[in-house]
Amino acid sequence: MSETEPRQIRVVHHPEQAELDRRGVFLWDVWSKDPSCFPWTYSEKEVCYLLEGEAIVTPEGGEPVPISAGDFVEFPKGLTCTWDVKQHVRKHYAIE
């Protein structure tokens, strides 16, 4: 990714089970967080699949991105954002 390319969060709402299986999502580590608001910077690309909850992730200088249970999300390397966890989040995640 070049420095001039925007760092965007990609969300796939309710991906096909076959795609989740192909990626091995349910073998990934699990992270959970109670409702809170905190800044975060991704030092590596992260992909995740939300098992429960909802949050709004706002990239620095960008528009808020709502995510919730059943979403597959990609966070690009170098993204700085703020997480606003609205309902307890539990997700499988992997660093790529």
What pLDDT, on the 0 to 100 scale, is given for residue 4? Answer: 40
What pLDDT, on the 0 to 100 scale, is given for residue 81? Answer: 97
Query: Per-block average pLDDT, block size 10, for the chain (96 residues)?
Result: 61 97 98 98 97 97 96 96 98 96
What pLDDT, on the 0 to 100 scale, is given for residue 79? Answer: 96
What pLDDT, on the 0 to 100 scale, is given for residue 44? Answer: 96
Burial of 92: CB neighbours in 10 Å, binned 0-12, 13-18, 19+? buried
Asked if 71 and 10 touch (Cβ cutoff 8 Å), the reply is no
Q: Where are the domains of the chain?
A: 30-95
Burial of 75: CB neighbours in 10 Å, binned 0-12, 13-18, 19+? buried
What pLDDT, on the 0 to 100 scale, is given for residue 3? Answer: 44
- Fold exhibited by the domain 30-95: Jelly Rolls (2.60.120)
